[in-house]
């Protein structure tokens, strides 16, 4: 087992839960670090344990409105596309035990209170998202979610330039928009040494 996941002892937590309260788990890292993969792994295990699971992701554009979350490696899980945190809350069924949320960084600030309310009502909430944008700045509301989470998992990709641990998402196409939907066509994982901060970056970064 990867050391970073060693503390994902969900069964243990459930066993020792005494007061009926839920909790919040946050999975963060750069693009390609395996956040969706890890979220899907936890959701699958909850489903195998016959827990009632609901999964959500934000609608960013038409391409993102398909009813599943997917990892870059091709793993998938059904999910409900929603536009806002309020819409997410409207969809929650009382009997749901586990709520999964992917691409948390694309939600509004209301997600923080929503997640708190869900955990307070006894649900396990798992959110995956980018902790930094393409310039390396904290990507709200993920920093706030990290503060309220009981459990945090930070995972890393491999730097495509040098093979070191990658903590940054390098944008490789010209765009100043904070949200620019894409995958390996527009982004790559880079370490601290190979990451070129946006202000220093040439207009198009050579792959
Ligand atoms: P995230 O949700 O963090 O963007 P995913 O879970 O969608 O990540 O995808 C992780 C998978 O991406 C890895 O298991 C691996 O197959 C693939 N991958 C592609 N490029 C890289 C990279 N530079 N470092 C690590 N994994 C990568
Ligand atoms: Zn590097």
Please tell me the predicted confidence (pLDDT) of residue 157.
Answer: 97
Please tell me the predicted confidence (pLDDT) of residue 41.
Answer: 95
Q: State the pTM of this model.
A: 0.90
Is 161 within the bounds of a domain? no
Per-10-residue mean pLDDT, the chain, length 207: 51 68 96 95 94 93 68 82 96 97 96 97 97 95 97 97 97 88 89 85 53
Rounded CA-CA distance 41/173 in Å is 31
b (16+ CB within 10 A) / e for 177-198: eeeeeeeeebbbbbbeebbeee
Please tell me the predicted confidence (pLDDT) of residue 4.
Answer: 44
Is 8 within the bounds of a domain? yes
In testing the pocket of ligand 1, which one of 68, 71, 100, 160 has its CB within 8 Å of the most ligand atoms? Answer: 71
Look at the chain and report how many structural domains it folds into: 1
E strand or H helix at 111, and its extent? helix 111-120
Q: The CATH number of the domain where 75 resides is what?
A: 3.40.50.300
- Domain membership of residue 108 as a residue range: 4-156
Please tell me the predicted confidence (pLDDT) of residue 181.
Answer: 84
Is 193 within the bounds of a domain? no
Is 165 within the bounds of a domain? no
Is 149 within the bounds of a domain? yes
Rounded CA-CA distance 73/76 in Å is 9
Is 103 a known active-site residue?
yes
Query: Is the CB of residue 136 less than 8 Å from the CB of residue 143?
Result: no
Please tell me the predicted confidence (pLDDT) of residue 199.
Answer: 60
Catalytic residue chosen out of the listed positions 25, 37, 103, 188: 103
Is 90 within the bounds of a domain? yes
Is 114 within the bounds of a domain? yes
Is 195 within the bounds of a domain? no
Q: Which residues line ligand 1 (CB under 6 A)?
A: 29, 31-37, 71-73, 157-158, 160, 189
């Amino acid at each position: 087992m990867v050391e970073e996941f060693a503390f994902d002892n969900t069964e243990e937590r459930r066993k020792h839960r005494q007061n009926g309260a839920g909790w919040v788990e946050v999975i963060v890292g750069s693009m390609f670090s395996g956040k969706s993969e890890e979220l899907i792994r936890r959701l699958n295990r909850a489903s195998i344990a016959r827990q009632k699971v609901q999964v959500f992701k934000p609608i960013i554009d038409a391409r993102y409105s398909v009813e599943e979350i997917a990892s870059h490696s091709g793993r998938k899980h059904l999910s409900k596309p929603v536009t806002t945190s309020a819409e997410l809350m409207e969809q929650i069924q009382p009997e749901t035990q586990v709520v999964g949320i992917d691409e948390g960084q694309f939600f509004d600030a209301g997600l923080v209170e929503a997640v708190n309310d869900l955990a307070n009502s006894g649900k396990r909430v798992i959110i995956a998202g980018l902790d930094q944008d393409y310039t390396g700045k904290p990507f709200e509301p993920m920093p706030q979610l990290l503060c309220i989470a009981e459990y945090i998992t930070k995972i890393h990709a491999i730097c495509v330039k040098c093979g070191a641990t990658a903590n940054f998402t390098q944008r490789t196409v010209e765009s100043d928009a904070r949200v620019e939907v894409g995958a390996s066509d527009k982004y790559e994982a880079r370490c601290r040494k190979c990451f070129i901060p946006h202000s220093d970056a040439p207009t198009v970064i050579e792959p």
